[in-house]
């Protein structure tokens, strides 16, 4: 009977030690994971800050490129939206708009951090229409486009490209 009690006490002690070790190991693992997560978040924060600083440096180049496309001198003001995004390929995307109309005259630019260049740009269709060089087309194409607009839109468009009706 004494041997059975001794064996039971030894088993209880082993169980308590095992459970304690498991709990301590789990707690240490959680600490490492949260610490790693904090480091990763800090790295992402640093990358985002670098991207925003780079975008700020590149704004004059974006403005220059937009004004080069603006053959009718339509652009009065260029505004940039707050914040930038970093895509999985590492390109930095900045967005903005022209003449205080973010719904109609929007653009975005893809910035290449390594080469310090403005990569591709995309512009809304309304903004693209303001940059159109109608000398490259048959006059009927321009007339068809103008006829697709309401009278008010037509007058505004012709004003925007520096022509009067």
Question: Is 101 within the bounds of a domain?
Answer: yes
Question: Is 16 within the bounds of a domain?
Answer: no
Q: How much is the average pLDDT of 61-78?
A: 96
34 pLDDT more than 70:
no
pLDDT of residue 6: 77
Question: Is 50 within the bounds of a domain?
Answer: no
50-66 per-position pLDDT tens digit:
999 999 999 999 999 99
| 20-24, 83-87, 140-144, 156-160: least confident range | 20-24
d(CA 92, CA 111): 5
> What's the token pair of residue 4?
């059975």
Overall number of domains in the chain: 1
Rg (CA), the chain: 32
d(CA 46, CA 48): 5
80 pLDDT more than 80:
yes
Question: Is 141 within the bounds of a domain?
Answer: yes
141-159 per-position pLDDT tens digit:
999 999 999 999 999 999 9
Tell me the C-alpha to C-alpha distance, in Å, between residue 96 and each of 11, 17, 64, 135: 70, 62, 14, 28
d(CA 96, CA 54): 16
Calculate the CA 21 to chain-centre distance.
46
90-111 per-position pLDDT tens digit:
899 999 999 999 999 999 999 9
Question: Is 122 within the bounds of a domain?
Answer: yes
118 pLDDT more than 80:
yes
d(CA 138, CA 34): 65
Cβ-contact 115, 90 below 8 angstroms: no
Question: Is 5 within the bounds of a domain?
Answer: no
Reduce the DSSP state of residue 88 to 3 states and report it: coil
First to last CA, the chain: 113
Question: Is 144 within the bounds of a domain?
Answer: yes
Q: List the domain range (segments joined by +) for residue 146.
A: 58-160
d(CA 76, CA 15): 78
């Amino acid at each position: 009977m004494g041997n059975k009690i001794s064996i039971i006490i030894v088993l209880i002690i082993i169980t308590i030690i095992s459970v304690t070790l498991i709990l301590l190991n789990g707690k240490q693992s959680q600490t490492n994971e949260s610490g790693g997560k904090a480091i990763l978040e800090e790295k992402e924060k640093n990358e985002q800050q670098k991207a925003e600083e780079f975008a700020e440096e590149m704004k004059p180049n974006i403005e220059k490129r937009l004004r080069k496309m603006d053959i009718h001198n339509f652009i009065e003001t260029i505004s940039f939206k707050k914040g930038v995004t970093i895509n999985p390929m590492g390109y930095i995307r900045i967005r903005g708009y022209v003449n205080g109309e973010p719904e109609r005259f929007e653009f975005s630019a893809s910035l290449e951090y390594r080469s310090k260049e403005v990569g591709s740009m995309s512009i809304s269709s309304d903004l693209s229409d303001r940059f159109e060089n109608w000398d490259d087309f048959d006059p009927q194409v321009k007339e068809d486009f103008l006829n697709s607009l309401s009278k008010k839109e037509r007058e505004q468009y012709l004003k925007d490209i520096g022509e009067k009706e």
